[in-house]
């Protein structure tokens, strides 16, 4: 009883410090930034590196327009994340069912991870130009495909590990019961792949936001947080650009926290 209580206290302390230290560091940076000590340290001025108060004032004054761009970016990020995760999971299933070419096929898929986003985004914009007469629809599809490609790789590799890296005694037990391949797949391989799926999502969720932001730089339709960052930098509106950069960081953090909450609910015994 005492050992269990002590273990719970230790886990609670670790959880608190895991959150507390980054928050304290962020507060320290914000204070140094607002007091312009950070500007003196790196040799910057308040024009290219606006004060946090100025940045949040711009976010507050332009909330409706910012939310419109946030909505477009989140749709692209989540849409590409879902499509890429489903495709990657399907590829992992096929590689598990046909192991002779499975490893080689996943190696080819992994090569897509080496393609720079700035290279593939313009190509997909041209490939989807005849998809619809609406430029917004064409642009959203192209951006979503970029995110999908970036998310497919991590899911396919991690899901394949979940399907194949089984505990020997569990597979032997299913064999002793004369379980069919279908039963082994749904009763053993699929449940074993779920933790690996969340591991892939931990990589894919931040990656989907980054991919969405970068793909918006080259998009045909001028909307999205990434596009607004680019446009305001070109116009030397650095304060507004920093406001959108702050919003982009918030999008990534919120989506990642939501993922951790869902993972904690579904996989209570993992931590």
Q: Give CA–CA dist 147/209, Å, rounded.
A: 8
Q: How many domains does the chain have?
A: 1
Count of positions (residues) in the chain = 271
- Full domain range(s) for residue 111: 59-266
- The DSSP string of 206-226 is HHHHHHHHHHHHT-SS--SHH
In a domain, 20, yes or no: no
Is residue 257, in this structure, part of any structural domain at all? yes
Report pLDDT for 5: 58
Report pLDDT for 108: 78
In this prediction, residue 198 carries a pLDDT of: 93
C-beta separation of 235 from 222 below 8 A: no
Instruction: Note whether residue 27 is domain-resident.
Output: no
Q: How confident is the chain (271 residues) per 10-residue block, as mean pLDDT?
A: 56 64 83 85 84 90 91 92 93 86 76 77 78 77 89 90 84 75 83 91 92 84 86 88 92 92 79 49
Given this model, what pLDDT does residue 73 score? 92
Determine, yes or no, domain membership for 88.
yes
Cα–chain-centroid distance for residue 173? 37
Q: Give domain status of residue 47, yes or no.
A: no
What is the structure's pLDDT at 184? Answer: 80
> Residue 139 falls within a domain, yes or no?
yes
Specify the pLDDT at position 219: 77
Question: Residue 160 is part of a domain; what is its CATH number?
Answer: 1.10.3720.10
| 38 in any annotated domain | no
Give the C-alpha distances (Å, rounded to integers) separating 107 from 102, 103, 156: 9, 6, 10
Start-to-end C-alpha separation, the chain: 20
Give the closest residue to 214 by CA, choosing from 140, 129, 118: 118
Residue 130 covered by a domain: yes
In this prediction, residue 79 carries a pLDDT of 93
């Amino acid at each position: 009883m005492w050992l269990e209580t002590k273990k719970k206290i230790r886990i609670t302390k670790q959880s608190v410090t895991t959150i507390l230290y980054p928050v304290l560091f962020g507060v320290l940076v914000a204070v140094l930034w607002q007091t312009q000590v950070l500007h003196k340290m790196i040799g910057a001025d308040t024009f290219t590196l606006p004060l946090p108060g100025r940045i949040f004032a711009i976010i507050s004054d332009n909330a409706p327009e910012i939310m419109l761009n946030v909505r477009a970016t989140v749709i692209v990020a989540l849409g590409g994340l879902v499509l890429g995760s489903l495709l990657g999971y399907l590829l992992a299933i096929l590689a598990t069912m046909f192991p002779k070419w499975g490893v080689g096929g996943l190696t080819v898929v992994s090569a897509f991870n080496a393609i720079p986003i700035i290279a593939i985004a313009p190509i997909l914009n041209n490939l989807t130009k005849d998809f619809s007469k609406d430029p917004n629809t064409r642009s959203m599809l192209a951006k979503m495909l970029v995110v999908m490609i970036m998310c497919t790789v991590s899911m396919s590799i991690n899901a394949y590990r979940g399907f194949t890296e089984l505990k020997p005694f569990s597979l032997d037990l299913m064999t002793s019961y004369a379980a069919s391949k279908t039963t082994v797949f749904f009763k053993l391989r699929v449940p074993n792949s779920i933790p690996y799926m969340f591991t892939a999502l931990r990589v894919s969720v931040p990656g989907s936001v980054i991919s969405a932001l970068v793909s918006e730089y080259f998009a045909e339709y001028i909307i999205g947080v990434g596009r607004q960052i680019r446009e305001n930098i070109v116009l030397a509106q650095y304060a507004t650009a920093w406001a959108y950069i702050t919003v982009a960081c918030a999008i990534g953090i919120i989506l990642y926290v939501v993922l951790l909450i869902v993972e904690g609910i579904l996989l209570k015994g993992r931590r």
